[in-house]
Amino acid sequence: MRWQWRIYEEPLQEPLTTAQGVWRSRSGIYLRLEDEQGQVGYGEIAPLPGWGSETLNADIALCQQLPGHLTPEIMATIPEALPAAQFGFATAWQSVGRLPYRVRPWPICALLGSGQAALEQWQQSWQRGQTTFKWKVGVMSPEEEQAILKALLAALPPGAKLRLDANGSWDRATANRWFAWLDRHGNGKIEYVEQPLPPDQWQALLSLAQTVTTAIALDESVVSAAEVQRWVDRGWPGFFVIKTALFGDPDSLSLLLRRGLEPQRLVFSSALEGAIARTAIFHLLETWQPCHALGFGVDRWRSAPLLTTLTAYERLWERLDQ
């Protein structure tokens, strides 16, 4: 299988502020594979080192080292330390001769901007039929965020759900105060709190989940199949947020599901990947059948429409050759 690779860097349509800092652009690598019959496939490597994946430079080094003709045996040598590359090459290989995919729309969770902007943005998403929302916390002081959150919860209509994402920014004392506040003011609208503590505080995370009433989801703590299995073995009672583009070969998640991991505990989420990776993920969802609104409501920051024609893939690829 012949293959080529091209690096991309795209500015976000507006900066995204999280507890880990401000994102202004997104970088990655597009892959193009072609078999002996001239059938093509595309993949995307979109690492996010702040979320536990490798760096873009590590993926560039891999692409420089690999031979110009791929085989399954060569792809099997891509190390687990490069999960975004594993995903990109695996989905590119699987797509050869099968594009375009037929993908269906799934319910989407809308990511709201930080701060006061959320009080207006949710209405636009609600009018588009979205009923699940996500708001980043740990960006301002707890008092400022709780004042905004109280107004947001009062404004959200019946049936709306809200996810709070701390990106691991709280310490245990802050988390305790937040969960006590949510017990008083949550109004039954909080679906879960995502990654309240840093990934290295696994014992505190487990203890917290076993003592609070609001559900907790792990995100940065579970960036690979091995980490999900580790948390299952520890008795984790909550959700797992799966950033598929960073998770490695998709077969690793399929194996976990076959071994008994309950699909209702999984929430699939965007890593601000591009259209090639997003379309591959939505194709995989036909097998995985998600049970919760997808965390892909990020078009305000990076628009990545699903690719429904082979020409759409070719245009993306050719744009990087200009």
Cβ proximity of 48 and 219 under 8 Å:
no
Please enumerate, by residue number, every residue annotated as part of a binding site for Mg(2+): 165, 194, 219
DSSP 20: T
Binding residues: 165, 194, 219
The full DSSP string for 139-200 is SS-HHHHHHHHHHHHHHSPTT-EEEEE-TT---HHHHHHHHHHHHHH-TT-EEEEE--S-TT
Tokens coding 3 = 């293959």
3-state SS, residue 74 = helix
* Catalytic annotation, residues: 136, 243
Cis peptide upstream of residue 105 (ω within 30 degrees of 0): no
Q: Which residues pair with 216 in a beta bridge?
A: 193
Q: What is the dihedral of CA 318, 29, 297, 314, to 10 degrees?
A: 20
The burial of 20, by beta-carbon neighbours within 10 Å (0-12 exposed, 13-18 middle, 19 or more buried), is given as middle
